[in-house]
Amino acid sequence: MGKFSGKVVLVTGSSRGIGAAIALEFAKEGAFVIVNYLKNVEAAEKIVSACIEVGGDAWAIQADVTSEEAVHSMIEQIVLEAGRLDVVVNNAFKPYVFDPEQRKMAWQLTWEDYQGQIDGAVRSTHYICQAVLPIMKKQSSGSIVNIISNLVERPLVPYHEYNTAKTALMGYTRNLAVELGPFGIRVNCVAPGLVYPTDASKKTKESLKELIISQTPLRRIAKPEDIAGPVLFLSSDWSEFMTGQTLFVDGGFVM
């Protein structure tokens, strides 16, 4: 019996990268995983097959999480199909390329740049949380895990708009944790460091990777799989007395 047998888990933006690794780990523990994706149906179906192969059950569902209508329709479908929702991992974000040499400097940014990232991180999470709250309140249980970034603690490269949005998401998480605690719903964050290889990190220069490795006590860069364990921990009853927390998963870098 897996740790998440009989549990229904939604992972947004899980057709690739960190989201896909998280979906797979939940499946290994027996969960029914909802693989949410925006565009790439082929990639999503591949993850669904992989989830089934490792012993879970899975289902791909397309939805733009920055659209309130799309989110509500997705959650309705999940409840119709599965009858419940135990865990939500808000992993989807607006595409961003981590390239220190091509990033916009503070004086080049428009408010629209910030708004785009805030919509991608906070607006999408807000829509998902609003849609799942009635279900989790009815169950008197639920765990929400929001994926942020260790840059909120140490902006080694000032990716202004991305990092401002992720910092806002940390604040959103803490406020939500206070409000939802009495209903048995927990809300936490996982803050990865640089994760390689992913689409977002493929432009990261070797010299920056080496700098990060040299300042990381565990002397390597995270793989997508490294992020999954802490997410599963915060989603399980092993962490039932934790809420409003941020777990930094970066090999000790920000320490």
Give SS3 for 118. helix
Q: At what angle do helices 160-180 and 124-139 cross, to 10 degrees?
A: 20
Q: Which helix (H) or strand (E) holds 35?
A: strand 32-37
What letters, b where the CB count within 10 A reaches 16 and e where it falls short, cover 144-160?
Answer: bbbbbbbbbbeebbebb
Q: Which residues are catalytic?
A: 162
Among candidates 167, 129, 162, which has minimal Cα distance to 145?
Answer: 129
Closest Cα to residue 4, out of 191, 168, 143, 150? 143
Contact 252, 217 (CB under 8 A): yes
CA angle 136, 149, 25 (to 5 degrees): 55
Contacts 24+ apart (CB under 8 A), 118-122: 118/164, 118/165, 118/168, 119/66, 119/94, 120/66, 120/92, 120/93, 120/94, 120/96, 120/165, 121/93, 121/94, 121/148, 121/165, 121/166, 121/168, 121/169, 122/165, 122/168, 122/169, 122/172
CA distance 113 to 116: 5
